[in-house]
Structure 1
Amino acid sequence: MKILTVIGARPQFIKAAAVSRAIEEHNRKGMQPSISEVIVHTGQHYDHNMSDIFFEEMKIPRPNYSLGIGAASHGAMTGRMLEKIEEVLVQEKPDVVLVYGDTNSTLAGALAASKLSFPVAHVEAGLRSMNFRMPEEQNRILVDRISTWLFCPTDHAIQNLNNEGFSNFIGKQSNSPKVVNTGDVMCDAVRYYILHAKPSEKIHALIDNHKCFYLSTIHRAENTDDRNRLESIIKALDEIAADISVVLPLHPRTRNLLDEYGLFPKQIEIIEPVGYFDMLTLLSRCKAVFTDSGGLQKESYFLHKPCVTLRDETEWVELVTHGYNVLCGADKHRIIEAEKGFINSSIDWNSQLYGEGHAAAKIINEVIRGYLS
């Protein structure tokens, strides 16, 4: 059985690592059918610290194909990916095409496979922010509509699909999609890698210099492309950092836009982008998180860190509902108030919103079941 995996961005490397380990474990035990995995890296994240380092430190199998498609407009990027992935699919003829999340790489991989009648498995299906202006939201919806397997991380994701009418035809025809709550592969990854994470000397020294600090990331276009939103966030973090250090591994694109806008943080401690192990170490040692990242919201929860989300909505609504996450958008005053109040409130971390850390094995078992049927 041949699985072709399409990845291109940091969160996808982490998720794919969990599934690749499940494939290796399946083969190591001599279970049938044996599985070969072909990995296609689109190149969507092309900076060393945003891409190559993840393969190095996480021991992810090296990509069989590196397409080298970097920054471009959404249309140009997706179109180039679609063309190149189609060429790989024609050559490899996989039994299943595995895509992750909501990036342009996800959409291009799913669309190319669907056009050629290869079954598509969407990991992290059913997520919705209800903000249809977001490219990620458009990608999620489109990929779910053309997928054979919809692997949902939560019951809420399944309910989203039901609300969109999936329950009306699932199981009623031979080619209807299979919807499964597998839990979240990010939970698998954090549980595994937190035991293996060894920080770099630079991050080790940074932590030694800070008894208490906050961790922040800013990269989403809704924040970075809007000067007023980005300025408001930076001013809030600067004010917070006057009392407690704020460490900000800065995405290259965000750094360029700060320079372009003439926004120069005064108190925030800006560092270069970090690998997954360094990020896990920072996350495990920080007091709380300020982020617009979807993945970091969950990683914060897994490691019991309060999360202030710098967005107006989130796909991970259960984190807000259960009091682990607070939405502040780009509002300076709400961000500062969250630091004063929410972060210091009492939080009960005794829940398992995303499964018990066996999502990857469930995904592989479901795909094998479909392959054999």
Structure 2
Amino acid sequence: MATSAPLGSQDTGIVHVVGARPNFVKAAPVVSALRGRGAHQSVVHTGQHYDDRMSAVFFRDLGLPTPDVDLGVGSGSHAAQTAALMVGLEEEFSRREPGMVVVYGDVNSTVAAALVAAKLHIPVAHVEAGLRSFDNTMPEEINRRVTDQLSDLCFATSPEAIGHLAAEGISPDRVHLVGNPMIDTLLGNLDRFDADALRARLGLPERYVAATLHRPANVDDPDNVARLTARLHEIADLADVVMPVHPRGKAAFDRAGLGDHPRVRLLEPLGYLDFVALTRGAAAVVTDSGGVQEETTILGVPCLTLRPNTERPVTITHGTNQLVTEADLLPTVTKVLHGQTPERIGDDTPPLWDGRAGERIASVLTQWSR
């Protein structure tokens, strides 16, 4: 490997590529830690999530710098969106000539940036490397696998991720167990997640089940949506259901009549602080989101993940997460509402989920050279 100026110096620079709200939460502590080290860096927002409620409010809540560029790619099919991302990112990388491209998570922006950077011979660092659901029907699983193969640095959030990378032939010298930067953001903002204030402002009941569903397997098939709507109505017979509706599933849930139950409260998408406050105040959370599985692990809120698998098994062994099917959703929620939750297998929170992942990542990045 050739060496030159340290990464982050003025003549190379680090470019962070973010495109969707989970990326923003993961990037914030890394950007902050690098800023503290005087690194030269820039943020490219692809615009995969593009309206204020899904994007700009997160930058304000998290103190992220205004993106140096917003590609404004927007939504579309996987092929159309990824192609547009690659065209826009190739132009940006060619103009900026970064010394390192840092990508986050598993969205289309992530794999597009990794592909473009690799073909331009720009090193790639992947934050949240090695997560695997082993379910190739999930677009995110494809994105994760491809990105890890192209990455010069793989930053793992949990020990099992290291094993997955090794099984796929990733050299150990490319892999670093650093902890979870999403948890850095959570711990750094704990005193700002005011569930009582959110209840008062939105007129929410004292006891409620929070829900958030957006995965294709749950919201793309009208029959699935109808069944899920029926289950959520049954849950609402026991406790109020509060659901910020992701744009991806809004039309389907509207057609299924989700909001017709008097104890179902549908909300517009929430900013980061409000969403985590909603989660923090819930008696239970029903979700298909990876990030919510992690946040509830630290917050100690029972999490019911409506999926057959998870790429975050550490949230089950060291957290509050349970995998559930549509058929067993109601009985599982009923048990949780009556205080029956499984004991954690581990005694502690996941290793290195201590609020210092951003610093660890920044340390590796600033020592690595081309």
Q: Secondary structure at the match of 1:40?
A: strand
Contact 1:182 1:363 in 2 (8 A): yes
* Equivalent residue, structure 1, for 2:23: 12
Q: CA deviation at 1:203?
A: 5.1
Query: 2:79 — aligned with what?
Result: 75
Q: d(CA) in 2 for partners of 1:218 and 1:126?
A: 24
Task: Summarize the alignment of residues 194-205 of structure 1 with structure 2, pairs less than 5 Å apart.
Answer: 194-197=190-193, 204-205=200-201
Q: What CA distance in whole angstroms lies between the structure 2 residues aligned with 1:151 and 1:40?
A: 20
CA shift at 1:140, angstroms? 0.2
| Aligned-partner residue type, residue 180 of structure 2 | D
- Aligned: 1:369 with 2:363: no
Structure 1, unaligned runs of 5 or more: 28-34, 172-177
Correspondent of 1:226 among 221, 228, 240: 221
Following the alignment from structure 2 to structure 1, what is the Cα–Cα distance between the partners of residues 312 and 214? Answer: 18
Which of 314, 318, 323 aligns to 1:318? It is 314
In structure 2, list runs of 5 or more residues that go unmatched. Answer: 1-7
1:155 aligns with 2:170: no
Question: Does the 8 Å CA contact 1:326/1:338 hold for their aligned counterparts?
Answer: no
Q: Deviations over 1:216-260 (max 9, x none)?
A: 101111111022222222211111112211110001221122235
8 A contact 1:249–1:273 mirrored in 2 = yes
CA deviations on 1:124-175 (whole Å, 9 max, x unpaired) are 0000001011110000000000000000000011111122232xx445xxxx
Given candidates 327, 335, 346, the residue that maps to 2:329 is 335
Shift of 1:261: 5.2
Secondary structure of 1:214's aligned partner: strand
**Root-mean-square deviation over aligned CA pairs:** 2.0
Partner of 1:304: 300
Cα distance in 2, alignment partners of residues 62 and 323 from structure 1: 34
Counterparts of 1:109-128 in structure 2, within 5 Å, are 109-128=113-132
1:211 to 196, 206, 209: 206
Per-residue displacement from partner, 1:103-135 (whole Å, max 9, x unpaired)?
000011111111101100000000000101111
Question: Does the Cα contact within 8 Å between 2:305 and 2:323 map onto a contact in 1?
Answer: yes
| Change in 2 beyond 3 A, CA 1:88/1:323 | closer
**Larger deviation, residues 313-322 vs 46-55:** 313-322
Larger RCO: 1 or 2 (CA < 8 Å, sep 6+): 2
- How far did 1:350 drift? 4.6
1:146 corresponds in structure 2 to 150
Q: 1:363 to 1:323 in 2, by over 3 A?
A: closer
Quick one: percent identity of the two aligned structures? Answer: 37
Post-superposition shift, 1:279? Answer: 0.8
The amino acid that maps onto 1:50 is: M
C-alpha spacing 1:268/1:262, structure 2 compared with 1 (3 Å): closer
Q: What amino acid is aligned across from residue 291 of structure 1 in structure 2?
A: T
User: Relative to 1, partners in 2 of residues 1:149 and 1:210: Cα closer, same or farther, differing over 3 Å?
Assistant: same
The residue type equivalent to 1:370 in the other structure is: W
CA distance in 1, matches of 2:240, 2:254: 22
1:129 aligns with 2:133: yes
1:46 and 2:50 aligned? yes
Cα shift at 1:265: 4.2
> TM-score, normalization: structure 1?
0.90
Quick one: which amino acid aligns to residue 330 of structure 2?
A: I
Distance in 2 between the 1:328 and 1:82 partners?
36
In structure 2, distance between residues paired with 1:196 and 1:92: 36
TM-score (norm: length of structure 2): 0.91
How far residue 345 of structure 1 moved from its aligned partner, in angstroms, is 2.3
1:272-319 superposed Cα distances (whole Å, 9 cap, x missing partner) = 110001011111111111001100111111111010001111111122
Q: 1:203 to 1:110 in 2, by over 3 A?
A: farther
The CA distance in 2 between the partners of 1:10 and 1:342, in whole Å, is: 29
Q: Does 1:353 align with 2:347?
A: no
Residues 1:235 and 2:227 are matched in the alignment: no
Determine the C-alpha separation between the residues in 2 that align with 1:231 and 1:76: 29
Equivalenced residue count is 354
